[in-house]
Chains A and B, each alone.
Chain A
């Protein structure tokens, strides 16, 4: 069997599973007809769910319709609590992007320092070991108090959670650059700067990119929780707001969008990873 037919078969199995899940979902949330006889006035008050045996959980068709509706007009803005899902996602992506790029700018130079200097590696190790396991959200109150801006606090939380995987991977990648390559650089009388750029950076790039890929994944996980806390805008806030509106349909829609954006971010990093990979 060729590679192509394997892909085709896997696709078919995926499709079958998807149909199965949606089917079960559809049956589970379907109306079972009138189950309770009650005063129509009262029934109107407590909603159709109570008398028709229908769950408050939306059916797949309702979620599908909602997704389509969001896709048709993703960027509308009708005031503070009614913005298109595209705008909310854009806010979240912007915060992740900003915090993440700040983390890249700090983590890679410090990672180089750690990787190249055994002294600095030892000296910074206790700090990293203590800071790394702290849940990024634990920083939130401190950030809110010192920065006094909820949006920037969310960016800070993203920054702090993206920092560690990149720092540790960069340090490791730089420290494990093969001695032979460094010796070549030395015999070619390359300056430390040129060695860092032309030898160490490309040699360590795959390891650095692995750290960056882990970081973007964590950042996207954390942004939802952070925005639930800080409120105002962003996909995390959207989810929480729709929960307060009791719109489970919108919550499920948002969950799916979060998943898709997370996947796209990961794919982007995977593409970059392939770009710097080398066969040894």
Chain B
């Protein structure tokens, strides 16, 4: 906890509901950490407030309760230390790819000369393999290329953490996988700390070191934290052949399909369990490739959680 780069403490967000009379609690009493150089990923259904968490982390939204410490500082607003890759790329359409990155670089380094800014921007456009297209306007770029510019823009300010809000969800499968490979390569090179939101179980397993599972909203919470036990050097091609792949994948899917709803009912806020969500490492025990054989090593109180949740749903 002490060496965590991001520490989320008791985060709660409520919105005025549609009638304007009551309040809608999107999520409540969230506690989790992101370590330096870690790739953490949050997974959950629509409406559980994933994007809201990311917006609060980015400083674009403020929590109703609780707070976030990032890099030893209380998060009170946006910062160049926390770069965001937006779902809809959010490039300025009147600027070229280079212009978009330059705008970010000149915000980070207001004292740099134009040549310095340009050189730095081109370096990052080259990193995402966009050299040659730097003078094109976003409207002339494909969806994948636009998101590459978004990545270059975020990386060019050399943030301490990269926040990604379903960055590849609007892309087709082939483009998505090439961008995921890009992210893997960049992570290998820079050890960039990343916090990502996704819907995609395979994307989470390929990219993330730890996967935070969120229960359904309203009043969503973090049900458990799954540690990715797959090899650090995993690649897309061999991902499904790794021994722990199916237990992990089944665990995540089972969570999304059934448990995310059950735990949402059972999980009480302001309990000790909320402060340190159970950590699980789904692994193959007897026969791999079957979901029933996967067990969760009870690092936290997983079994207790699962018991209580089944009890509540049965009642």
CB of A187 within 8 A of CB of B58, answer yes
Contacts known (A189-B78, A278-B137); A181 close to B92, Cβ less than 8 A: yes
CB of B79 within 8 A of CB of A189, answer yes
What residues on B are CB-neighbors of A199 within 8 Å? 92
What residues on A are CB-neighbors of B86 within 8 Å? 180, 183-184
What residues on B are CB-neighbors of A181 within 8 Å? 90, 92
Measured CB to CB, the nearest residue on chain A to B87 is A180
Contacts known (A203-B92, A203-B94); A186 close to B103, Cβ less than 8 A: no
With an 8 Å Cβ cutoff, the count of chain A residues facing the other chain is 20
Measured CB to CB, the nearest residue on chain A to B92 is A181
What residues on B are CB-neighbors of A186 within 8 Å? 59-60, 77-78
One of A187, A194, A198 near B59 (C-beta < 8 A):
A187
Contacts known (A180-B88, A202-B92); A188 close to B80, Cβ less than 8 A: yes
> Bound complex: CA of A125 vs CA of B78, how far in Å?
32
A180-215 CB contact bits vs B (8 Å, 1 = yes)? Answer: 110110111110001000110011010000000000
Contacts known (A187-B82, A188-B107, A198-B103); A279 close to B93, Cβ less than 8 A: yes
What residues on B are CB-neighbors of A198 within 8 Å? 103
What residues on B are CB-neighbors of A205 within 8 Å? 94
Please give the distance in Å from A214's CB to the nearest CB on chain B.
Answer: 22
One of B83, B93, B95, B157 near A280 (C-beta < 8 A):
B93
The B contact surface, by secondary structure, is: loop
Is B139 in contact with chain A by the CB < 8 A criterion? yes
> Bound complex: CA of A184 vs CA of B83, how far in Å?
9
> Bound complex: CA of A202 vs CA of B58, how far in Å?
25
Please give the distance in Å from A203's CB to the nearest CB on chain B.
Answer: 7
> Bound complex: CA of A188 vs CA of B153, how far in Å?
10
CB of B90 within 8 A of CB of A188, answer no
Is B104 in contact with chain A by the CB < 8 A criterion? yes
Measured CB to CB, the nearest residue on chain A to B110 is A194
> Bound complex: CA of A187 vs CA of B58, how far in Å?
7
Please give the distance in Å from B141's CB to the nearest CB on chain A.
Answer: 11
CB of A278 within 8 A of CB of B93, answer yes
Measured CB to CB, the nearest residue on chain A to B100 is A184
Is B84 in contact with chain A by the CB < 8 A criterion? yes
Please give the distance in Å from B116's CB to the nearest CB on chain A.
Answer: 17
A159-184 CB contact bits vs B (8 Å, 1 = yes)? Answer: 00000000000000000001011011
Measured CB to CB, the nearest residue on chain A to B104 is A188
CB of A280 within 8 A of CB of B84, answer no
A84-127 CB contact bits vs B (8 Å, 1 = yes)? Answer: 00000000000000000000000000000000000000000000
A11-46 CB contact bits vs B (8 Å, 1 = yes)? Answer: 000000000000000000000000000000000000
> Bound complex: CA of A183 vs CA of B85, how far in Å?
11
One of B78, B92, B93 near A187 (C-beta < 8 A):
B78
What residues on B are CB-neighbors of A190 within 8 Å? 107
What residues on A are CB-neighbors of B78 within 8 Å? 186-189
What residues on B are CB-neighbors of A183 within 8 Å? 58, 60, 84, 86, 90
What residues on B are CB-neighbors of A278 within 8 Å? 93-94, 137, 139
Q: Which of A184, A190, A202 has the most CB of B within 10 A?
A: A184
A267-280 CB contact bits vs B (8 Å, 1 = yes)? Answer: 00000000010111
Find residues 246-280 in chain A having any chain B CB closer than 8 Å to their own CB.
276, 278-280
B interface residue numbers (CB < 8 A to A): 58-60, 77-80, 82-84, 86, 88, 90, 92-95, 103-104, 107-108, 137, 139, 157
Give 12 A-B pairs besides A180-B90, A184-B86, A199-B92 with Cβ atoms closer than 8 angstroms.
Answer: A178-B90, A183-B58, A184-B84, A187-B59, A187-B78, A187-B79, A187-B82, A187-B84, A194-B107, A202-B92, A278-B139, A279-B139
A interface residue numbers (CB < 8 A to B): 178, 180-181, 183-184, 186-190, 194, 198-199, 202-203, 205, 276, 278-280
28 CB < 8 A contacts A-B: A178-B90, A180-B86, A180-B88, A181-B92, A184-B84, A184-B90, A184-B92, A186-B60, A186-B77, A187-B59, A187-B79, A187-B80, A187-B82, A188-B78, A188-B107, A188-B157, A189-B78, A189-B79, A190-B107, A194-B107, A205-B94, A276-B94, A278-B94, A278-B137, A279-B93, A279-B139, A280-B93, A280-B139
Q: Which 7 A-B pairs have the closest CB atoms?
A: A180-B90, A279-B139, A188-B107, A278-B94, A186-B78, A278-B93, A187-B78
